[in-house]
Structure 1
Amino acid sequence: MNVAHEVNLLVQEIQRLGQPGADGKISVTFGTLFNDDKCANLFEALVGTLRAAKRKKIISYDGELLLQGVHDKTVITLQTTNS
């Protein structure tokens, strides 16, 4: 698995599905990403890709582990488009 490539794809999907906030940064909820058909086909391990992007400070969200259902309303914010 090429982590850099997966993170790049994640950035593209957040840009596609997200909305700019008052600060101009694009945000999307975990539920939106998790339930999107294209994302489901792209990412074998969406949660793992999110954690890798968070470690690289490309995205931010509250908490460490995101679980479908429980964390569907957790907001994921794109911090940068560089990966």
Structure 2
Amino acid sequence: MNVAHEVTLLVDELKRLGADNRNADGNCVVKFGTLFADDKCANLFEALVGTLRAAKKKKYITYKGEMLLQGAHDDVDIELLVESVPAQ
């Protein structure tokens, strides 16, 4: 899979998981632990942390820190900044 496609899938999964959890700006917010533990995401993403970093670099998402690690960062919020990835 290419990175652009994985980032698109990530945006879709964050919308699915964060549909009922929005912040004051109206953006979907998902805890890293929730995303990491989700069965569908576990099967979709070979390198979830790498996909998160690529999406953050493109400013599709934001979260505190540089890299998220399972366990240590389970309570870190991942905020979705876009509703969809622009066509490439």
Give the shorter-chain TM-score range. Answer: over 0.9
Gaps of 5+ in 1: none
Superposition TM-score, scaled by structure 2 size: 0.90
Q: What pairs up with 1:37-76 in 2 under 5 angstroms?
A: 37-76=39-78
Aligned-residue Cα RMSD (Å) equals 0.8
**Map of 1:71-82 to 2, 5 A cutoff?**
71-82=73-84
Superposed displacement of residue 20, structure 1: 1.4
Counterpart of 2:36 in structure 1 is 34
Aligned-pair CA distance for 1:76:
0.2
Runs of at least 4 residues of structure 1 off by over 3 A? Answer: none
Gap runs ≥5 in structure 2: none
Deviation at 1:67, TM superposition (A): 0.3
- Taking the aligned partners of 1:73 and 1:27, their CA distance within structure 2 comes to 11
- Partner of 1:63: helix, strand, or coil? coil
Structure 1 length-normalised TM: 0.96
Identical pairs, percent: 67
Give 1:21 shift: 1.4
